[in-house]
Amino acid sequence: MADMGFVGLGVMGGPMAMHLHNAGNRVTVWNRTPGKAEVHRAAGISVAESLAELAARCSAVCLCVNRTEDVRECLAGLVPSAKPGTLFIDHSTISPVGAKEIAEELSAKGMRFVDAPITGGSMGAKNGTLTIFCGGNEADVAEVLEIVKPYAKTAERVGPSGSGQQMKLANQMAVGGALLALCECLSFANKAGLDLTQTHRMIGGGAGGSWAFENYGPKVLAEDWTPGFSVKNQRKDFGYCREAAKAIDAAIPGTELVDSLLAELDAEGHSEWTTAALYTVLARAHARG
């Protein structure tokens, strides 16, 4: 039973904060759009009026927001009121270099920061079965691993500050490539006159199978482009992938390709579609070469 704060009650953060509460913690939440906290208030969770108020109450604060600059902005509101040694746990997917810098800056102010990006999607958040990649020093991460238990299936320390973000980006590369494989396979099959349901079933059950086949495949078959994980958020992560790859001289041509294909959806105003809509880009495209 701890005094926990949770900042960012979106599709992921909302259910995660609820899990913390249900596990018996005293939870205080804050969200930029206050309306999203009403479901938490109704469940008996404290809703802070400001980040300062939240920070003053808590010994550990989870963040689940969007970009590096959003994390920085929230911390700017939290840190001045935070108790010495407060543990900040960042579940957002941000720049690894940014995460490392933030950890160093907070350390200089007597605070602690662990990057702890998550994967597993909205169902994973709802069901408490997320995978969490933790970067930070061993003692801090050990505390984090206890705290996140109510919503993690797998949580591990993967290295020092920034490592959690690095592994999350590696994860997005694997997800993006598998998505491309699915969409390219099905769009070719469609043009070849094959039955898509049969193609999906037969190929997905063999050496071409993947989580993407199982989970995004049905969206493609139904041509249902409601999120899911949006093109916009996927491209945000790919931006960090490109930046991080450049910094360590890593080649990520597949990720760059997927990003360029999703950029077409973005340009057409479909940034809120689910990433499986990559299928539509390939389906209409003309063969190159």
Considering only 65, 203, 220, 262, the residue that binds a copy of itself (CB under 8 A) is: 203
Phi then psi dihedrals of residue 89, to 5 deg: -120, 110
Considering only 212, 231, 276, 277, the residue that binds a copy of itself (CB under 8 A) is: 212
CB of 195 to a copy of itself, least distance (A): 7
Question: What is the spatial distance between Cα 152 and Cα 2, in angstroms, rounded to a whole number?
Answer: 18
Bridge partners of residue 130, in order along the sequence:
152
Contact 232, 271 (CB under 8 A): yes
Q: Is 251 in the site for a copy of itself (CB under 8 A)?
A: yes
- Quick one: 3 or 243, whose CB is closer to a copy of itself? 243
3 state SS of 48 = coil
Contact 169, 237 (CB under 8 A): yes
Contact 89, 148 (CB under 8 A): yes
Question: What is the spatial distance between Cα 177 and Cα 171, in angstroms, rounded to a whole number?
Answer: 10
Question: What is the spatial distance between Cα 120 and Cα 168, in angstroms, rounded to a whole number?
Answer: 11
| Footprint on residues 23-82 left by a copy of itself (CB under 8 A) | none
> Largest Cα–Cα distance of the chain, in whole Å?
65
Catalytic residues: 168
- Quick one: 261 or 265, whose CB is closer to a copy of itself? 261
- Quick one: 31 or 166, whose CB is closer to a copy of itself? 166
CB of 31 to a copy of itself, least distance (A): 25
| Footprint on residues 104-163 left by a copy of itself (CB under 8 A) | 119-121, 131, 133, 154, 156, 158-159, 163
- Quick one: 213 or 273, whose CB is closer to a copy of itself? 213
Q: Which two tokens stand for residue 259?
A: 């990003």
Q: Is 83 in the site for a copy of itself (CB under 8 A)?
A: no
CB of 3 to a copy of itself, least distance (A): 30
Which x/- pattern over 170-199 shows residues binding a copy of itself (rule: CB under 8 A)?
A: xxxxxxxxx-xxx-xxxxxx-xxxxx--xx
